[in-house]
Homo-oligomer: A and B are copies of this chain.
Amino acid sequence: MEFTSRQIAELLGGRVEGDESTKVNRLAKIEEATEGAISFLSNPKYEHYLYSTGASAVLVNNSFSPKEPVSTTLIYVEDAYASLSFLLEEYNRMKTYSKIGLENPHFLSENATLGANCYVGAFAYIGSNCKIGDNVKIYPHVYIGDNVSIGSNSILYSGAKVYADCQIGAHCTLHSGAVIGSDGFGYAPLSDGTFKTIPQIGNVILEDHVSIGSNTTVDCATMGSTVIHSGVKLDNLIQIGHNVEIGKNTVVAAQTGISGSTKLGENCMIGGQVGIVGHITLADRTSIGAQSGVGGSIKVSGKAFSGSPAFDYKTNLKSFAVYKKLPQLMKRIEELEEKIISLTPVDLTK
């Protein structure tokens, strides 16, 4: 997508100083910008970059007046930083929702329904009885099993996989390689040492505004539903076990694993590479530090934990500080033992 400085200025209600026909097709930082990029100057600390920038156009505040000659096109706006955020949003919206229509070949089951303004990329697969809302973007190689519903404005990037019977809400994003609804890990040991597979016949429900990162896996429930409530954001390569429930607006960083039947509260912040055992409950607004291992329920809301197994965050910091000095501590104990011996009276009666 390409725009002239004049079009940008009109969009932002601004004024151009310089060549109104300069074309821009991307956003960039003022110190890294090259031809075709539009940048912004808000913090006076970066003003010196303005005089040497490669940007084709730069947003500046109405209150700004250059101290040196400027070769790039300037677009004067009320608030350069806010205008940039606005442009970012617009650019992102156009980029994300611009694809419309059906590419061939695709596979759309006869009794599946598609809303208005959808995109179905080549090689995408939509199974029987699927209900796809308006403005849903289904990229190439996406697989949607039978009986799946997807709410409006959701985006499934190339290669996302949704098993049969799952429900995806509105405004959800599934990145490439995300797997929704694969079998939970349930096996019953038999007396001969082999394992019997426990049928996993439940599904996954993603409510609205849920984001699932690349290659993240969310297992279906053994029976019932694994539920990811609205507003939850999962980063890449996360594992969510069967029958897990994640409360509204909880955020989980990359490579974390949550075992079966565990329930996370709302607005929790879970760091990267955390492990959480099965069948426990975490209270609302719990924070877990990266690489921690949570082995039991957390009942009081709003607390921070770290370590493996995890305990109170600050206490852990203190224990770790001592851990780093353990060899010296050992030496001090040995010295104490020697001194004690030297102080102990010799028993002359023996």
State which of A55-63, A65-73, A74-82, A312-320 sits at the interface with chain B: A312-320
Q: Which residues of B contact A344 (CB under 8 A)?
A: 339, 343
B193→A182 contact, CB < 8 A: no
Distance (whole angstroms) from the CB of A123 to the closest CB of chain B: 5
Nearest-neighbour CB distance to chain B for A86, whole angstroms, equals: 11
Q: Are the CB atoms of B157 and A233 closer together than 8 Å?
A: no
Write out the residue numbers on chain B whose beta carbons fall within 8 Å of the beta carbon of A131: none
B254 touches A215 (CB 8 A): no
Once bound together, how far apart are the Cα atoms of A29 and B28, in whole Å?
A: 54
Binary interface encoding of chain A residues 177-202 relative to chain B, with 1 for a CB under 8 A from any of its CBs, else 0: 10100110101000001110101110
**Is A322 in the interface zone, CB < 8 Å from B?**
yes
Contact A143 B125 (CB under 8 A): no
Q: How far is the CA of A223 from the CA of B84 in the complex (A)?
A: 12
Chain B residues with CB under 8 A of A327: 315, 318-319, 321-322
Instruction: Tell yes or no: A49 within 8 A of B by CB.
Output: no
Select from chain B the residue with minimum beta-carbon distance to A342.
Answer: B344
A161 CB-CB contact with B under 8 Å: yes
**Contact assessment for A193 and B343 in the assembled complex, using a CB-CB cutoff below 8 Å:** no
A236 to chain B, nearest CB (A): 4
- Report yes or no: B315 in contact with A324, Cβ–Cβ below 8 A: yes
Give the A interface residue count (CB, 8 A).
101
Q: Does A36 contact B (CB under 8 A)?
A: no
Copies of the polypeptide in the assembly: 3
Q: Which residues of A from 156 to 215 have beta carbons under 8 Å from B?
A: 157-159, 161, 163-164, 173, 175-177, 179, 182-183, 185, 187, 193-195, 197, 199-201, 209, 211, 213-215
Assembled-state Cα–Cα distance A315/B324 (Å): 8
Given A143-B159, A158-B161, A159-B161: A199 touches B125 (CB 8 Å cut-off): no
Q: Is A134 close to B, CB under 8 A?
A: no
Please tell me if the beta carbons of A257 and B255 are within 8 angstroms of each other in the complex. Answer: yes
For residue A329, CB closer than 8 A to chain B, the reply is yes
- Residues on B with C-beta less than 8 A from A308 are 291, 308
Candidates B122, B179, B241, B318; contact of A176 at CB < 8 Å = B179
Most chain B CB neighbours (cut-off 10 Å) among A175, A187, A215: A215
12 example contacts (A-B, Cβ-Cβ < 8 A) are as follows A26-B201, A185-B233, A194-B231, A194-B249, A195-B251, A255-B255, A290-B293, A319-B325, A319-B327, A329-B330, A332-B333, A340-B343
- Known A91-B201, A193-B266, A253-B259; further 6 A-B contacts with Cβ < 8 A: A92-B200, A185-B253, A194-B209, A315-B327, A319-B325, A333-B333
Residues of chain A touching chain B, judged by Cβ–Cβ distance below 8 Å, are 26-29, 32, 88-89, 91-92, 95, 103, 105, 107, 121-123, 125, 139-141, 143, 145, 157-159, 161, 163-164, 173, 175-177, 179, 182-183, 185, 187, 193-195, 197, 199-201, 209, 211, 213-215, 217, 219, 223-224, 231, 233, 235-237, 239, 241, 248-249, 251, 253-255, 257, 259, 266-267, 272-273, 275, 277, 290-291, 293, 308-309, 311, 315, 318-327, 329-330, 332-333, 336-337, 339-340, 343-344
